[in-house]
Structure 1
Amino acid sequence: MASFDLLPDEILLKIFSYLGIDDVALSVRNVCTRWSKVSDDDEIWAYLRYSPNTNDPLEQIIFMLENMPALRQFEYTGTCNVIENLCECCRNVSVLHIPCTTLNATHLQLVMESLTELSDLGILMSPTEEGLKITRIIGQSVTLACLHLYSSHEDTTMPGLLKPIADGCPNLVVLECESFNCPTDEICYLLQRKKRQLLTYDHYGAVTANFFAALKECTNLKSLSLIAIEIYGLFNESPPAMNLKNLKALQISDCRFPTVKIIPLTLFLNTLSHLSYIGIPHTSGNIDVITNKILLRCPLLTHLDLGGNELHCRGLRNIRSCTMLKYLDVSDCTQLGKRAMKYVAEGCPQLQHLDVSYIPVSDRMFRQILRCRNLKELLMKNCDLRPINLGSISTHIDGLLYLFIGPDYQLPHYVRDQLKQQMPQLVIAESPLTCDESEYLRMKDKFIPRHFW
């Protein structure tokens, strides 16, 4: 201890920044008054996020909050209401995501009054009169930059639900609003009011010609997600081309094939050439032709998410046009094989992150993956490892930092030992046999960055 006492605060700060949130909250800050003060520094807590497990007891969560006065980020997918404790113990919180906790207007008012630095809010909301009270409180915030509204999926929607947000929230730049069955006119009003400030917008549900006309005016948009959308009504004229010059990321997720066909290749045809990220996950239908047409028009693409699709080898034929590609997610594209990975290996020399989870990877297909010499992260959740030699990774992809496998097919101990001996930097994560997918989902979130602003 004597030697540590001689260290200046700047060195202690550097050391503490390498520790996990439990060590900082429960160990370091209880050593002495000086360590407690240093461990509460904003530099340590800026990127630490407390995310209790869904089934953690309420008492345990409260205890942790009481020992985290400098906490900046809190994310919880359980249903226990800890708002009063959070507001009392952690007044520096700037990121609050509680998508499964039911809040009333009184709780939210307490949040807004107590967490004066809150800039990123994600809450579950009912589109009822109580929901309207909540949006009126949200609309008064001058600190919110990011807002995520998760729907309780009730049948009726209160008129004017989103109007307080449209007229308020002067600093809002990111809006993710699940389907509340709001009228198109109300959505268009929201877009019209926020057209100069929105950088990221996620839309669920119905879209019309008027919606796209309003969206076209949001010229500062950098990231757009259209999720489970349905196009209603006919366009009186040709669909309005989206000439959004600042757009970098476009996602069209969980949509029917006709919708996916018209959105990128008609409405966003003039935008594809400057996109860095395209996501077309979970489409109902064969996307081979669509994918090839899109890839030919995306020379600047660095991130591509095609997970959960009916995609064959020929669907990646034109991936050679995307020489800057670094992130590729083809998880659960079960029709892919050796030829698809051959196209990837030969056409994407900068590829660093690859997700082939839930695909029957043959030995011949794996040999093509080994040709991706610059890979840093390889996700192979629920891939049958028996036909392939994972030990050959060390001689082909010696810079690999992360490998995710399991749970159905485990890595033999001797192979694990061999890899760890030859690649000490490699982290091998094995999925547990339980239904907990948190580590895999965490890596996918990191794998495909959400916002480009």
Structure 2
Amino acid sequence: MVAGDGQGKNIDDLPDEIILNVFSFFSFNELIDTAQNVCVRWKRLAHDPVLWRDKEYIIRGRAQNGRSCCGVTCSECAHCRCEKTDREVLRTAGSMPQLRTLTMMRGTRARILRKICRNCPNLTTLQLHGCQKMNYSLLKYIFEKCPKIEKLIIANNLLADRRYAELVSRLEHLQSLEVFENRRGAGPVLLRFLADACPKLREINLSWDYHPLEDVEYFVKAKRDTLTSATVRWTMAGKRCVVTVLKEAASSLEKLQLHLFDVAPEEEAATFADLGELHNLRELHCNQLCPHRPRLISLAFQPGRLPLLQRLHLPHATGLPDDAVATICRGCPALRELRLIFATSLTDGALAEIHRLKHLQILDLSGCSGLGGCAMAHVAQLPALRTLLLQYIDDLTELQPSLRHVLDLEQLRCLNILNSGHIRAVPFEEFAVRLVNLRELHVTYEEEDEVFYKNVFAEMQSQMPRLRIINTFRWTEDDFLTDYETDDDGDDGDDDIGY
């Protein structure tokens, strides 16, 4: 290979730093299949840890099209490599010693999992599938060969067993633990083992199981100075609310996700008041927030309570009242992202004070069917808004006449109206002049209007060459797991617990 300067210099004359910089633009597949097969030097450089920080290896089902870290089909992602068959996995396992992330979307043979872990000692993120056949010696082997694990995603039935919980507790680098429900009635995660060990553990996800409140309290107190993220149910065993317990870690807790609201009516006021005492929160997710008295939600967001909050997600809060949103606008001035998906009871009045959110960049009003003709006039007063989502609005004409005010959002880069009806109400013909910063338009149009909109968007594309127009995304059968590959290889006589 000769350089193009005519002096006959070989690429081998380039220093490692320059070649590594070139390799940094290579995809996962190019590093594995091309670069490291050229010569010994390139193989060494292709294994440089810097190149593998963001790479993810995914083992998926034969007919499954998994989604990658960046939301596109895995085969289209430069950071991912997806393989279906065990033969493919065995071929690749020895070629990525610096791999950091392994995601299992199906079970596999024990000997194959052992080979991966033996050849990838630098794993920091491991996701085990619920159908993975697991015994004590196999899990022990995994952790011994991959002692640097920082993030672990594992089934609840494993951590309900004392022996397996003790193995996890020995992971001295563990920072994030996510437990998914794999077996109903398996029993609670043995939190006390984790509380007394795992010195770096700072993120815990226990969203689908009830646990004794005493164990949760023990864990939170033990990690009160280090716990930064928690995903839990609103109540624990005995329907006792967990928010009061989380106040122990109020000084460190930055991210909180609360699932399955089932707080007793007489405790709702105290619960929302306690939530407002988590003053250090930067991110809050409350799914399906449906209290008996919706107006009490405002207690958590009174001015001065959550002043640092930057991201707030309240999906499917169908009874969310207008005054609660107004209180959020007054009490959370640092908000960068607000998602009110399918908050069907909201009216235009809910947005009357949204102009106070001077730093808001992302606003999601998808499915907010109660909005009317003044809503977009309020939204247009957001000076920093970059992303606006109006999905699942049955009839966009109901947002007239203020829908034209979307043209006033000078900083808007992404408009998403997927699965919304009557999109002719949107003034597309003026986008090229008014929305010069727009880079993405997500849109769904009816089949009978296909020719018309193809012409409209073709004209828009010619005037806005940097704009990506993305039609609706539809799941196909290839996106779902249809088979698993497991067998008994590697069984050492212990009882299998994860199948």
* TM-score normalised by L of structure 2: 0.77
Match of 1:442 in 2: none
Contact 2:148–2:173 (Cα < 8 Å) also in 1:
yes
Higher relative contact order (CA 8 A, sep 6+): 2
- The offset of 1:146, in angstroms, is 0.9
Q: For the residues of structure 1 that align with 2:96 and 2:294, how far apart are their CA atoms?
A: 45
Contact 1:146–1:172 (Cα < 8 Å) also in 2:
yes
Q: For the residues of structure 2 that align with 1:46 and 1:431, how far apart are their CA atoms?
A: 32
2:346 aligned with 1:308: no
Contact 2:155–2:180 (Cα < 8 Å) also in 1:
yes
Q: SS of the residue aligned with 1:137? A: helix
Match of 1:381 in 2: 418
Closer/same/farther in 2, CA of residues 192 and 299 from structure 1, 3 Å limit: same
**How is 1:165-204 mapped onto 2 (pairs within 5 angstroms)?**
165-204=194-233
Unpaired runs of at least 5, structure 2? 4-10, 65-82, 480-499
* Counterpart AA for 2:419: N
Q: SS of the residue aligned with 1:169? A: coil
- The offset of 1:70, in angstroms, is 2.2
Closer/same/farther in 2, CA of residues 52 and 362 from structure 1, 3 Å limit: farther
- Tell me which structure has the larger Cα radius of gyration: 2
Match of 2:256 in 1: 224
User: In the alignment, which of 181, 196, 213 is matched to residue 151 of structure 1?
Assistant: 181
Q: SS of the residue aligned with 2:351? A: helix
Q: For the residues of structure 2 that align with 1:8 and 1:436, how far apart are their CA atoms?
A: 48
* TM-score normalised by L of structure 1: 0.84
Contact 2:147–2:171 (Cα < 8 Å) also in 1:
no
Q: For the residues of structure 1 that align with 2:473 and 2:404, how far apart are their CA atoms?
A: 27
Closer/same/farther in 2, CA of residues 408 and 7 from structure 1, 3 Å limit: farther
Q: For the residues of structure 1 that align with 2:15 and 2:295, how far apart are their CA atoms?
A: 61
User: In the alignment, which of 43, 47, 63 is matched to residue 40 of structure 1?
Assistant: 47
2:144 aligned with 1:110: no
Q: For the residues of structure 1 that align with 2:478 and 2:305, how far apart are their CA atoms?
A: 35
- The offset of 1:199, in angstroms, is 0.6
Closer/same/farther in 2, CA of residues 77 and 356 from structure 1, 3 Å limit: farther
Match of 1:447 in 2: none
Moved more, 54-63 or 403-412: 403-412
**How is 1:299-378 mapped onto 2 (pairs within 5 angstroms)?**
299-310=333-344, 311-346=346-381, 348-360=382-394, 362=396, 364=400, 366-378=403-415
- The offset of 1:298, in angstroms, is 1.3
Any idea what the Cα deviations from partners look like across 1:349-370, whole Å, max 9, x if unmatched? 1011222222246364653323
Moved more, 192-201 or 88-97: 88-97
Aligned residues: 435
Match of 1:58 in 2: 85
Closer/same/farther in 2, CA of residues 16 and 192 from structure 1, 3 Å limit: same
User: In the alignment, which of 272, 278, 285 is matched to residue 244 of structure 1?
Assistant: 278
- The offset of 1:45, in angstroms, is 1.5
Q: For the residues of structure 2 that align with 1:237 and 1:378, how far apart are their CA atoms?
A: 37
User: In the alignment, which of 171, 192, 214 is matched to residue 141 of structure 1?
Assistant: 171
Identity of matched residues, %: 23
- The offset of 1:235, in angstroms, is 5.1
Unpaired runs of at least 5, structure 1? 439-453
- The offset of 1:215, in angstroms, is 1.2
Q: For the residues of structure 2 that align with 1:407 and 1:170, how far apart are their CA atoms?
A: 53
2:323 aligned with 1:289: yes
* Counterpart AA for 1:144: L
* Counterpart AA for 2:257: S
Moved more, 418-427 or 288-297: 418-427
Contact 2:130–2:182 (Cα < 8 Å) also in 1:
no
- The offset of 1:337, in angstroms, is 4.4
Closer/same/farther in 2, CA of residues 266 and 141 from structure 1, 3 Å limit: same
* Counterpart AA for 2:387: H
Match of 1:124 in 2: 155
Q: SS of the residue aligned with 2:353? A: helix
- The offset of 1:198, in angstroms, is 0.1
Match of 1:273 in 2: 307
Q: SS of the residue aligned with 2:328? A: helix
Q: For the residues of structure 2 that align with 1:146 and 1:260, how far apart are their CA atoms?
A: 33
Q: SS of the residue aligned with 1:256? A: coil
Q: For the residues of structure 2 that align with 1:37 and 1:53, how far apart are their CA atoms?
A: 28
Closer/same/farther in 2, CA of residues 236 and 179 from structure 1, 3 Å limit: closer
Moved more, 394-403 or 196-205: 394-403
Contact 2:207–2:258 (Cα < 8 Å) also in 1:
no
Q: For the residues of structure 1 that align with 2:59 and 2:463, how far apart are their CA atoms?
A: 35
- The offset of 1:143, in angstroms, is 0.3
**How is 1:371-450 mapped onto 2 (pairs within 5 angstroms)?**
371-384=408-421, 386-387=423-424, 388=426, 390=428, 392-406=430-444, 412-435=453-476
Closer/same/farther in 2, CA of residues 252 and 151 from structure 1, 3 Å limit: same
Structure 1 vs Structure 2 CA RMSD = 3.2
Q: For the residues of structure 2 that align with 1:245 and 1:286, how far apart are their CA atoms?
A: 22
Q: For the residues of structure 1 that align with 2:13 and 2:387, how far apart are their CA atoms?
A: 43
Q: For the residues of structure 2 that align with 1:385 and 1:27, how far apart are their CA atoms?
A: 49
Contact 1:407–1:433 (Cα < 8 Å) also in 2:
no
Any idea what the Cα deviations from partners look like across 1:352-390, whole Å, max 9, x if unmatched? 122222224636465332322212233332234751454
Any idea what the Cα deviations from partners look like across 1:167-226, whole Å, max 9, x if unmatched? 211111111112222111121111111111101111125256673332111021111111
Contact 1:278–1:305 (Cα < 8 Å) also in 2:
yes
* Counterpart AA for 2:331: R
* Counterpart AA for 1:341: M
Q: SS of the residue aligned with 1:257? A: coil
Moved more, 372-381 or 348-357: 372-381
